[in-house]
Amino acid sequence: MDDVRALIIDDSFVMRKIVERSLRQAGIDLAEVWEARNGVEGLGALRRSAVDLILCDIYMPVMDGIEFLRQLQGVPNAEGVPVVVITAESRESHVAQALLIGARGYIRKPFTAEQVKEHVLPLLAETR
């Protein structure tokens, strides 16, 4: 998969780098990567730039992943862009909620590059 533009939203710098590396290890050629520390920054990044994929943590300060998903609706650059949530928490209620309001996938930490590939590649294939 070539020239993918990804937005990675996580309050942890280390996790953002791990997610980016996992995408590359999954064979995804990243043309551009935007990083955001919370949902507010993520929405700001989307207003400035078009992306092909969004990977988003759930628990973040300022604006969490659930609220980010809610506010994503109506953002022009987000239309049709798959969002995959990544979290160490597995509460079914939160995962179900995320999927209900627009997330297309869910990856539980810890994860391998192979798991990222399994979740992300089919979504990119659908939309590109």
Tell me which residues touch another protein (CB under 8 A): 12-15, 17-18, 21, 59, 87-93, 108-112
DSSP type of residue 80: T
Which one, 5 or 64, has the nearer CB to another protein? 64
Which one, 13 or 73, has the nearer CB to another protein? 13
Which one, 21 or 128, has the nearer CB to another protein? 21
Dihedral sign, Cα of residue 128, residue 126, residue 95, residue 114: negative
**Smallest distance from the beta carbon of 75 to another protein, in angstroms?**
27
**Smallest distance from the beta carbon of 5 to another protein, in angstroms?**
22
Which one, 23 or 51, has the nearer CB to another protein? 23
**Smallest distance from the beta carbon of 37 to another protein, in angstroms?**
11
Task: List residues bridging with 91 in a β-sheet.
Answer: none
Q: Which two tokens stand for residue 78?
A: 């987000």
Q: Which two tokens stand for residue 1?
A: 């998969």
Dihedral sign, Cα of residue 68, residue 38, residue 54, residue 76: positive
Q: What is the dihedral of CA 128, 121, 32, 50, to 10 degrees?
A: 40
**Smallest distance from the beta carbon of 12 to another protein, in angstroms?**
5
